[in-house]
Amino acid sequence: MAITKTKTINWGFGEKHKEYIRNCKYNTINVAEGAVRAGKTIDNVFAFAMELERTPDKIHLATGSTAANAKLNIGEANGFGLEYIFRGRSRWGKFKDNECIYVKTMTGEKIVIFAGGAKADSFKKIRGNSYGMWIATEINLHHDNTIKEAFNRQLMAKNRKIFWDLNPSKPKHQIYTEYIDLYKKKQEEAELVGGYNYQHFTIFDNINLTEQRIAEIISQYDKNSIWYQRDIIGKRMIAEGLIYRQFATNPKKYRTDKAKRNYMSINIGIDFGGNESKHAFVATGITRGYKEVVILESERYETDVDPDGLNQLFIDFVKRIINKYGKVNYVYPDNNEQVLIRGFKNVAKKERLNITIRDSKKIPIVDRIRLVTSLMAQGRFSYTQNAETVEDALTNAVWDSETDELKRLDDGTSDIDTLDALEYSIERDAKRFINQ
């Protein structure tokens, strides 16, 4: 029976990408690192697919931080993944309780198993099989147990190949010190058998992005921020210094006197005090189409008030916002304090305030920071003179330099309470702000 040929991939490869893919043929370990949207994953998927045609090994491994992530970025890849490349001769299925894709190749049927790798016990899902090749996306998000187990599972491979991609992490991240940079050193000293193929990419290396699209993407970033250095330039960066450097340099640039206008929604974010922190209230106006965020007012209160006193502070703040700016649509308090939230709901009902009180969503803090810096970079963030605590909080927010993670310093020297309240007021609409 004739085998359908591999489908031509409708994707352009720049010279740096072509060189990397060609070198994959001759090296055991292949690593593509750099900026987001640079085309790294597609390079590896394409190189992996070409090897799949001729490798004698039957079972292979594809991993991501989760199995779903692996299927999305390697299997589907926005229409450029394995199921697309092998369209007409592949099918999704199961192999020993693992999700997989079966592929008919010129050298027989191959099985690619998809698995997650982020958790300490993720390695258990890939035990029991011997794998020929291993392709991993976002390898820096894999637990070391998974990495070591995957290597062990390849010991009997006839054509052992590794394809990794990653966005930049902190320079001393384990993925560099124990693997990527170590391999480079061993290769330079002629100690690495099998060969090592490494390439670094920036967003400008992706020829599929037009100049206009690149300009649009870049406009979403503060060029002085860690996000620009990582996401656009593809640099390994240490998180240190001011978080909102562009804002801190000139806060008055973001101040507005045009706050009295109709808003699509007015939200109030609330962070409850405790452990030397304070109660913080932030009222935010959102314009139609999620175009702009305007911080209308903010307050910070001591924590030595009883629940009844806190309820009164809440009612006074809500009524002030309503009187000045119109209807308050949503209130998003810190979801860890359900007793205090019930108190707010009861007193709001008693006062006949037509507001909806919902728990804060608490998306990851890093994602909240990204949202605020993006809005600032695009000129879509402003605050009024009645939001001085927000001005102070943004001006003094700094990274915690004592941790390998992207984490803001919370030692009492900066106002984390107001930052949390601000973020609670807009985080539920994060995707709408980004996609507007």
At 393 the pLDDT is 94
Is 70 exceeded by the pLDDT of residue 293? yes
All domains of the chain, ordered by start, with CATH?
15-205 (3.40.50.300), 239-435 (3.30.420.280)
Beta 108-116 vs 133-137: how paired, if at all? unpaired
Average per-residue pLDDT for the chain: 91
Average pLDDT over residues 47-52: 96
- Give the range among 26-35, 65-74, 246-255, 291-300 with minimum mean pLDDT: 246-255
The pair of three-digit structure tokens given for residue 3, joined into one six-digit string: 């085998």
At 319 the pLDDT is 96
At 1 the pLDDT is 41
At 6 the pLDDT is 52
Instruction: Tell me, rounded to whole angstroms, the distance of Cα 157 from its chain centroid.
Output: 34
Helix, strand, or coil here: 125?
A: helix
| Stated pTM of the model | 0.69
Which is it for the CA torsion 216, 219, 220, 225, positive or negative?
positive
Is 90 exceeded by the pLDDT of residue 228? no
The number of beta carbons lying within 10 Å of the beta carbon of residue 22 is 11
Nearest to 227 by CA among 274, 278, 168: 168
Nearest to 134 by CA among 234, 24, 20, 38: 24
At 108 the pLDDT is 95
At 258 the pLDDT is 75
The pair of three-digit structure tokens given for residue 28, joined into one six-digit string: 């055991």
At 305 the pLDDT is 85
CA distance to 127, 220, 359, 432, per residue, from 428 (Å):
39, 19, 10, 9
Is 60 exceeded by the pLDDT of residue 81? yes
At 61 the pLDDT is 97
Which is it for the CA torsion 427, 221, 365, 372, positive or negative?
negative
At 10 the pLDDT is 64
CA distance to 229, 299, 388, 417, 418, per residue, from 307 (Å):
45, 17, 25, 18, 20
Is 80 exceeded by the pLDDT of residue 374? yes
pLDDT digits (tens, 9 = 90+) for 172-227: 889 999 999 999 999 999 899 999 999 999 999 998 889 999 998 888 888 877 88
pLDDT digits (tens, 9 = 90+) for 406-430: 788 887 778 999 999 999 999 999 9
At 253 the pLDDT is 92
At 239 the pLDDT is 65
pLDDT digits (tens, 9 = 90+) for 310-368: 999 999 999 999 999 988 999 999 999 999 999 999 999 999 999 999 999 999 999 99
Higher pLDDT, 408 or 280: 280
289 φψ region: left (φ > 0), alpha (ψ -120 to 50), beta (else): left
Is 70 exceeded by the pLDDT of residue 4? no
Is 70 exceeded by the pLDDT of residue 58? yes
Q: Which amino acid is at 232?
A: I
Is 80 exceeded by the pLDDT of residue 2? no
Specify whether the CB–CB gap between 165 and 33 falls below 8 A: yes
Specify whether the CB–CB gap between 341 and 353 falls below 8 A: no
List beta partners, residue 280.
Answer: 271, 300
Please give the backbone phi and psi of residue 222, each rounded to the nearest 5 degrees, phi first.
-80, 120
